[in-house]
A and B are shown apart, each in its own frame.
Chain A
Amino acid sequence: MAFKFFENPVVKWVEYRMPVFSFLDHSLGSSYPTPKNLNYWWNFGSLAGMILVIMIVSGIVLAMNYTPHVDYAFESVERIMRDVNYGWLIRYIHMNGGSAFFICVYIHLFRGMYFGSYKEPRELLWIIGVFILLAMMATAFMGYVLPWGQMSFWGATVITNLFSAIPFVGDSIVTLLWGGFSVDNPTLNRFFSLHYLMPFVIVGLVVFHIWALHMHRSNNPLGIDVKGPEDMIPFHPYYTVKDLFGMGVFMLIFMFFVFYAPNFFGEPDNYIKANPLVTPPHIVPEWYFLPYYAILRAFTTDFFLYQIVSLGGFLMSAKLAGVLAMFASILLFLLLPWLDRSKVRSNRFRPINFWFFWIFFLDCLFLGYIGGKPAEGSFIIMGQIATTYYFAHIILIIPIVSILERPKPIPESISSAVTAAGH
């Protein structure tokens, strides 16, 4: 098949001048060998890529009818919903696409953690992934401001105010972000400009991500290196078909939400136009930010972790500590390849780390739950416990377990593991 294709005179003509087809064939085609034992957790990278395309296409069409001005933004989105042909569909795709993007990327990330994909020689691949996550967060945050509802406005106010915690220059930075003395028209304008730009920055980062991936190729559920051709199959047609199948399943679920529960992930308050003089009683960010929000709010003056990191309140305010902790909760992932000293990648062969992985996963879900609750009573205490555990897991548990644990014997090769299992 591939053979005939490359004999086509037009293909030959292009290939001689720019070898784009063989480049694709080596990247995603029959000339790209892939471990033969990848399971469905390996579908979420290509799913995330597909959603990125969906977001860009739907976003560009939305921008044709959207007006970035405090007096018109809310109305222009309502006009998209009511008057623009299929405007409701395109906006609901964009709105739910944001959530779907984070679902896929979070699964993708925990997949990497479970199977040890961040370890040597894929550290840089992992690091680029963390930067993609940060860029996505910035993009989604600014996008959420654009419809200029109450949550848009107050979410933007709370998050931009985070920077005022920085000593000395904090207030100047916040003024610079706002272009004024509060979140206002200049803020909305620049957020629109940057929201349009950032997805293309993400595309750039994805190119680097894939480049790094193709250097040492995919990890696999066993976490062992491929030993030879018997451990591999060509990407096309095996994984092109599998990825396409995954996309089909994903689209069924995604379009269910778009058509039948389009506001499931949203906040009703964002259908109220922004009012700078009335704070909604309960400000919550979008669901994908809730765990970080819980970490931010855990830092009160009486939280023992705050007392420790600030040397009894001497070094920094609880506000600054909360902000630093929130950023650290993601930035610490950058160090994961070095915090985890175990040579064994996959948790299938790590009997102790296996359990800690799942406890950490539940802890993240629990932080998300707390982040959506008001900061009062027992929610504060529970948030502080979950926050402490979060950092203890990354900074203490991972390194200690990786040194003390005795892994189970790992298979000789991917092929031998399969034959041993009787296939």
Chain B
Amino acid sequence: MSDTANPAAGISDEEEKSRRDFLIVATSVVGGLGTALAVWPFVHSMNPAKDTLALSTTEVDLSPIEEGQSITVTWQGKPVFVRNRTAAEIETARSVKAADLIDPETDEARVQKAEWLIMVGVCTHLGCIPLGQKAGEPKGDYDGWFCPCHGSHYDTSGRIRKGPAPLNLPIPAYEFLDDSIVKIG
């Protein structure tokens, strides 16, 4: 090493070595960091594109939906369940203690108007669409919705009561434009 040290400049072997160590570490860190950062555009290119992201909203006319009936509308490519609940369904949904539930939430917190239950119809387990929208479909042990994929039971408020799903069916952002028109999204 001594021949690479620079006696003329008064730099000893020791100093020369630590100077090189510093340079190696510094270049490695900068180079490594730069490469790591360069990965991001490639990863992010796989995230939703701008056109996919462009906020979409769906307007639903509630007037044809009679008490005890449901319809399914599409919003952002996902099904949204809109149900006109019967008094008995509201009653059962409100008679359970929220604290006893898998995902504690009161029925009041899940609706804007008691009779209109509006939620994303995608099972929070692994994304199947629960049954129970149409007459004759199984509604599960809690008379709400039943996901046949791995057996999740949802109650009349769309809350998970039994099975592998961890969360209640999600409530999308929505507002009533007037008594019978609701805007989802």
Contacts and interface: CB of A to CB of B under 8 A. Distances in A.
B43 interface: yes
B78 to A, nearest CB: 6
B31 interface: no
B164 A322 contact: yes
B17 to A, nearest CB: 36
A182 B46 CA distance: 14
B69 interface: no
Contacts of A282: 148
A375 B150 contact: yes
Interface in B23-44: 43
A178 B149 CA distance: 20
Interface residues of A, number: 38
A182 B78 contact: yes
B48 A277 contact: no
A162 B77 contact: no
Contacts of B47: 175-176, 179
Contacts of A317: 166
Interface in A175-201: 175-182, 184, 186, 190
Nearest to B122: A182
Given A190-B46, A279-B148, A301 B128 contact: no
Interface stretch (A79-87, A153-161, A214-222, A396-404): A153-161
A176 B102 CA distance: 28
Given A158-B127, A276-B77, A180 B52 contact: yes
Nearest to A322: B164
Interface in B99-153: 102, 125-129, 148-151
Contact of A277 (B43, B52, B79, B102): B79
Contacts of A186: 48-49, 52
B68 interface: no
B58 interface: no
Contact of A281 (B46, B48, B148, B166): B148
Contact of B48 (A154, A175, A279, A376): A175
Contact of A279 (B102, B128, B164): B128
Contact of B76 (A182, A283, A318): A182
A319 B128 contact: no
A181 B77 CA distance: 7
Given A179-B47, A186-B48, A375-B151, A157 B77 contact: no
Contacts of A182: 76-78
Nearest to A159: B126
A289 B152 CA distance: 22
A300 B164 contact: yes
A208 to B, nearest CB: 24
Contacts of B150: 297, 375
A88 interface: no
A355 to B, nearest CB: 33
B6 interface: no
Contacts of B76: 181-182
A283 B171 CA distance: 26
A283 B151 contact: no
B93 interface: no
A74 to B, nearest CB: 17
A181 B120 CA distance: 12
Interface string A274-289: 0011110111000000
A279 B52 contact: no
A356 B2 CA distance: 66
A319 B150 CA distance: 11
A281 B150 CA distance: 11
A388 to B, nearest CB: 17
Contacts of A374: 148, 151
Given A158-B128, A276-B77, 12 more contacts: A161-B126, A179-B49, A180-B52, A182-B76, A182-B77, A186-B49, A276-B79, A277-B72, A297-B150, A300-B164, A301-B102, A319-B125
19 contacts: A158-B128, A159-B126, A161-B127, A162-B126, A176-B47, A179-B46, A179-B52, A182-B76, A182-B78, A184-B77, A186-B48, A277-B72, A277-B74, A281-B148, A282-B148, A300-B151, A375-B149, A375-B150, A376-B151
> Which 9 A-B residue pairs are closest in the complex by CB-CB distance?
A161-B127, A161-B126, A317-B166, A158-B126, A182-B77, A279-B129, A279-B128, A157-B127, A375-B151
